[in-house]
Amino acid sequence: MIRAYGVAHHILDVVAVYSKRCHLGSEEFSYELSESVKLLYVLMFSLCFAYGELNSMGEQKTISKFPIQSLLSARLLLSPQLARGRVYFMSDMSGVMSLYAMDQNGSIPEPLLPAGLALQNPHLMAGHNFYVLPKLGKVLVMIDENGNENYQPCFVPLTGGIPEPIFGDKYKSEQIACLHCDVDENIAYFLRDDRKTPNIEGLRVDLATLVVTSLGKSLYGNAFNGVDKNHSIVILADGYTAADTILYIWRKGSAERQLLYGIPIEKRTSDQPIKLSGFGTCNFTPDSKGLLFKSNLFSDAGTVCYFPLDTPENVVEVSVSGLKHKGTGELVDLKTVKHDHYLLEYNIDGCSWLYECRYHDDSVSKRLDVMRALCGLPPLTDGVLMGYEAETEGGATNLKVGYVLSFAKANTPAQLYLYSSANQSEVPKVLSQERVLGIDPKFLSPGEDASFTSFDGLRVSARLYLPSEHLGFPGSRPLVLYVHGGPQSQERPDFTWFSMPLIQFLALNGFAVFVPNVRGSSGYGLQYMKQVDHDWGGKDVLDHIEGLKMLEKDPRIDSSRRAVIGRSYGGYMTLTLVSRYPDLWKAACDMFGPYDLISFIHRLPESWQTYFFLSMGHPEKDKDFLVERSPKTYFKNVKCPMLILQGRNDPRVIEAESKDVADSLRANGVETEFLVFEDEGHDVMKFKNKIVCYTKITDFFRKHLSP
């Protein structure tokens, strides 16, 4: 009956969509179903569907013991902020990602946005989804249209309300992304992409008066990267490819920015060696005379560095004492709390560590001393941070800091944790108790290390998720290869987003799921990550093949029953693997993956094309290479049935790209299913769509791999 109720709601969604878009001849009109009619539909469809299920139980061999609704019952709690005793955060508790607030001592979360209005996935955001502005009595929130990523800054009252665009229609149909906001001074820094030209503009906005100051334009970003306490000096960054970043300085009253560090691309020679900087956030020192930042100038894994503003060429490393972690990984970033307090974030073996530090500068050396570990030690261990913010009170000599964090594990939903400013406890207070309903934790897969040595001796980190022994599946298990997006990202132990619930759902249904972080992934140092530049479909493909060869020796895996699935770059890799190694697969699922690299680049917004010209290849100058690396070139080889999933509003891999995939497969006689989500972008975020998506993928693989 649970499944019947879920299907009833899905049917109701379809009815509602078509009830709002009815055509009479050339006329279009809309109307809403009343709540009583909606309830009647739900009850009617639930009873009918349940009756149908009972009558066909003898034929239905693929009904899952654990419905996907159980895995998704744990609501997302993300990107928290503290303000005046309240915790503001994002959650999908209404079925879409929205904004909520609650008392930091505990209360029922209060919605701040109208029902049905969806915010973007923080992973995909350029900048921040929202900022709380206590002095203005407002929240600054970034709103797009169902995933099209054309963010518009809006104000809502602290108590919630109808979003009001702060610029009216001035930047309509453009992307205005908030990269930083000083909530004490109510000054925000935005990135403006007009979606018409390749240039990106930096904007500074006084949120109290809405006075806008242009910080200049650039083909390469001109992105905010730091500001002094008086907002008279701004650090801007141009990025060419990952970690190839140069810095500019903008001073109040100046006509334009000035080069601060690095060699602009237009001044480089073809044979000139360029040391990758890997600049993170630029933080002004307490005396405002220099910058502290994360960089790769001295280490592949990144270190904290410093240079004085008047002599930036004199870069030095800053030592860090008191670190608690062990293992391999990298420094993620350094961020200012206030005065001489900073936060250091590390990614160690895919897991998050966060340290509260104090900066010391004397005649001998510059150093950061760890005061306490906010994440990495129990209870916040072996998982991933999904956002954190500080709230301060007092001056430099009596500073008190409170922190709120979101933290998730591979088989545990994200929870909110509070470090109160009233005490300096080493253990945070748990503010939530989200959990998976109806599934005993013993049935979930913790995963195991499945790292391997690739064809050229490179170690590739990977995990294998096998069905729990308590599920009682007999014999060796069919295998699903899951490929993450990016490519310069990382699959981590994070129950929060799309991949981990799918991985767990597949394991619950009898599949083994292999999740490698092949070369090009982040989290393993700069050299490892940069290997995918100008090599999409090269050595990254061979890493996957070597991983599959390793698993052929594992008696727990039936390698004669294999499927592959991936999203975005992972979709590209899925299309590449099924077309260049067609005999390996029984089924495949592509989620918004590039198919023809030349058309993919041309279909991007102009401002995004510049990056891909540099990191992937130029459609004219590198045409032969891009054709050679495009799945389209090999698509006549595809043999296995394929499921294609796409968001209608996706600006990154547009619907036409996935339609080309489906059309090509059908023309070649390959069994193909093509599903477009009308109200999604470059992700599947809404609860009703997740139900359809996860179920469709799993049923498709069950049909063709027979677990």
For the chain, what percent of residues have pLDDT higher than 70?
Answer: 91
Domain boundary among 10, 42, 60: 60
Helix (H) or strand (E) holding 693: helix 687-705
Task: Please give the pLDDT value at position 232.
Answer: 96
Residue 469 lies in a domain: yes
Residue 23 lies in a domain: yes
pLDDT, tens only, 369-399: 999 999 999 999 999 999 999 999 888 788 8
pLDDT, tens only, 236-247: 999 999 999 999
Residues 578-593: what's their mean pLDDT? 97
- How many domains does the chain fold into? 2
Separation of alpha carbons 204 and 352, rounded Å: 32
Task: Please give the pLDDT value at position 40.
Answer: 41
Domain boundary among 36, 60, 84: 60
Mean pLDDT, all residues of the chain: 89
Domain boundary among 21, 40, 60: 60
For residue 227, CA distances in Å to 186, 285, 483, 503, 697 come to 13, 11, 38, 41, 46
Q: Is the pLDDT score of 251 beyond 50?
A: yes
Task: Please give the pLDDT value at position 252.
Answer: 93
262 backbone φψ class: left, alpha, beta (φ>0; ψ -120 to 50)? left
User: In the structure, what pLDDT confidence band is assigned to residue 64 with cuts at 50, 70 and 90?
Assistant: low
Query: For strand 672-677 and strand 642-647, is the pairing parallel, antiparallel, or unpaired?
Result: parallel
Residue 268 lies in a domain: no
Residues 419-439: what's their mean pLDDT? 88
- Sheet arrangement for strand 366-375: 319-321, 366-375, 351-361, 341-348, 329-338
Q: Is the pLDDT score of 223 beyond 60?
A: yes
Task: Please give the pLDDT value at position 65.
Answer: 79
pLDDT, tens only, 65-85: 789 999 899 999 999 999 999
Q: What is the DSSP string of 25-90?
A: TTEEE-----HHHHHHHHHHHHHHHHHHHHHTTTT-----SS-HHHHTTSPPEEEEEEETTEEEEE
Q: Is the pLDDT score of 445 beyond 60?
A: yes
The pTM assigned to this predicted structure is 0.88
Residue 171 lies in a domain: no
Q: Is the pLDDT score of 193 beyond 90?
A: yes
Q: Is the pLDDT score of 12 beyond 80?
A: no
Residue 16 lies in a domain: yes
Kindly report the backbone phi and psi dihedral angles of residue 125, in degrees, each rounded to the nearest multiple of 5, phi listed first: -70, 140
- CATH number for 463: 3.40.50.1820
pLDDT, tens only, 630-646: 999 999 999 999 999 99
User: Which letter does DSSP use for residue 584 in this model?
Assistant: G
Kindly report the backbone phi and psi dihedral angles of residue 74, in degrees, each rounded to the nearest multiple of 5, phi listed first: -75, 115
129, amino acid identity: N
Task: Please give the pLDDT value at position 387.
Answer: 95
Look up the domain containing 52 and give its range: 2-60
Q: Is the pLDDT score of 3 beyond 70?
A: no
User: In the structure, what pLDDT confidence band is assigned to residue 62 with cuts at 50, 70 and 90?
Assistant: very low
Kindly report the backbone phi and psi dihedral angles of residue 86, in degrees, each rounded to the nearest multiple of 5, phi listed first: -120, 145
pLDDT, tens only, 311-368: 999 999 999 999 999 998 999 999 999 999 999 999 999 999 999 999 999 877 899 9
Residue 666 lies in a domain: yes
Residue 311 lies in a domain: no
Residue 29 lies in a domain: yes
Q: Could you tell me the sign of the dihedral formed by the alpha carbons of 57, 58, 60, 65, in that order?
A: positive
